[in-house]
Chains A and B, each alone.
Chain A
Amino acid sequence: MTYHSEQLVKELDEIAQSLRMDALEMIYRRKAGHPGGSLSASEIITALIFHQLRIDPKNPDWEERDRFILSKGHACSLLYAALARRGFFPREELQTWGHIGGRLQGHPDRLKTPGVDMTTGMEGHGVAVGAGLCLAARIKNLNYDVYVLVGDGECQCGVLWEGAMIASKYRLSELTVIVDHNHVQLDGPVHEILPVDSLADKWRAFNFATFEIDGNNMREVLDVLDMAKEIRNKPTAIIAHTTKGKGVSFMENKSAWHGRPPNDEEYAQAISELKRRLSKE
């Protein structure tokens, strides 16, 4: 495992924090979007897009690029902000999110947005689609890895576990599934709506190499991604314990913020909180 320098961690942390502000601004401007699950996933998406993935913004369809499937597609404000900052399209374009004729749909669209590897938004598909991508790589002798970010509510979907069985059968070590375990879904706490208890045990039982980390801690995210790369003969699952709405006090752990935009005052307060944190980092 490589040692990640203080400098790198700090830089990535700053990006993660800025992306939170970008995402909130986008949601505020559009008066629609999903703040809670976008804020919880910022360290994970940042670590992938700005560090882990072998991708090239100038050649988004490069055959040997690593693939990233945002299976929890409702977190796309953060993904769009990250892709823009990484150079896949101009940052001004973020302002056109959700406009008719624009390239940024309400949920990710692989045909419209450079850098989006798969159309998502309906929960549950990412693991099986990722498995198919890994199988294609084997047939074609291509050397890429596939990362899939799922929600914990999404772990209620049967098709996700079907995909897990298939990935396990074919020992797809190229596949890494990250669960953004923020404990809150649209209608309320996950443990009330439909418990997905012992997530790590579940993934282990499906024969995934399984890790648990603090998914809002950049160093832990970077380290675990390195460890996942070392796994042979089986896919990896990372249970990333996160906080829904991370970074904005009144949004944290509240299902009400799963899918509603902030009003003027809420937005001002959210941005000032995020700025304060950024200046501390």
Chain B
Amino acid sequence: MKKMSIRKAYGQALADYGAENPNVAVVVADVSSSVQTGFFAKRFPERFFNVGITEQAMVDVAVGLALGGMIPFANTFAVLFLRAAEQIRTCVAYAKTNVKIVGSYSGLSNFKDGPTHHVECDIAVMRAMPNITVVEAADAVEARKMVPAVAEHDGPVYLRLSRSDVPVLLDESYEVKIGKGVVIRDGSDVALIASGVMVSRCLEAAEKLAEEGIDSYVVNMSTIKPLDTGLVVKLAEETGALVTAEDHSIIGGLGGAVAEALGEGKPANLERIGVRDTFTETALSYDELLDHYGMGVEDIVKAARRAVQRKHR
């Protein structure tokens, strides 16, 4: 499959949407060239603010812009927003300001800079805050389409983006519906529910599982909060075997959210693919790093087999 850059797609979409919507403003904390907000800066310098390495104040400046009627997109590495967790909690979430927090370089996608720059707990932190919608883009097409969807969604949003180039899965007809999971492959034996870059790995796993006669659903759960619990419960009822996959800790992210939904809805066999409560290491490539930490295609296949086998015990 053809690979495209998620961050570049986002950056270009932000500039394009900026032309359509004069209320969009962009703030960034000294990583504009990395998170690709330069396209916007070039076209709309009067609505672009690089505030240096001041993540906490950057979020507060975005809050002020929102109070003044703008739709600010605040940008930096996902891990650095943890530094501004209280700003996000009090001034964005509680004060319900229309701020869009864009955490780029999420998960292990900044493989080469190492574990200081990886982030395994951003979804867990954001998801526990009332009023915040949490979404993640699976590929470049979704990243592009999420810009207007997130901007036009009234209220605080955490948009999680990857640094990496990932296979393009979705076509132009794809429509972002915040709050809805999208079944991108039909199945019957097991449901692979994923977000972000793990969606394409689940599709590969589904092909392998098909060879051994296991028929897998693949779901792009791009909204992690509010979770599409209706879909999760429906898939649990139909298959009785679920696998979640995310480039994030298995604690508090998509896997945690699905486990909560199953616990209160329809208990089913669940396997969680993700970072297993550990810090990670530097690597030479993203794919190698995901494989090393148990997020490989083969890991998904094995997890699916286990979930299916447990049904028959």
Contact = CB atoms under 8 A, between A and B. Distances in A.
Interface stretch (A156-164, A202-210, A220-228, A242-250): A156-164
Interface string A132-145: 11111111101000
Interface in A15-69: 63, 67
Contact of B91 (A63, A125, A158): A125
B64 A131 contact: yes
A159 B90 contact: no
A140 B87 CA distance: 25
A132 B56 contact: no
B91 to A, nearest CB: 6
B64 A128 contact: yes
Contacts of B49: 135, 166, 170
B69 A159 contact: no
Interface residues on B, range: 20 to 34
Interface in B92-108: 94-96
A39 B79 CA distance: 41
Interface in A107-158: 109-111, 117-119, 121-122, 124-125, 127-140, 142, 158
A180 B264 CA distance: 51
Interface string B42-74: 000011010110101110111111111110100
A165 interface: yes
B85 to A, nearest CB: 11
A170 B52 CA distance: 13
B64 A136 contact: yes
A63 B69 contact: yes
Judged by DSSP, the binding face of A is helix
Contacts of A127: 57, 60
Contact of B46 (A118, A128, A134, A139): A139
Nearest to A132: B64
B53 to A, nearest CB: 9
Among B47, B61, B66, which residue has the most Cβ atoms of chain A within 10 A? B61
Contacts of A134: 64
Nearest to A108: B95
B68 A165 contact: no
Contacts of A119: 90-91, 94-95
B126 interface: no
Given A119-B94, A166-B54, A170-B49, A159 B87 contact: yes
A111 B96 contact: yes
Given A119-B95, A122-B90, A129-B67, A165 B52 contact: yes
A38 B295 CA distance: 55
A21 B65 CA distance: 36
B25 interface: yes
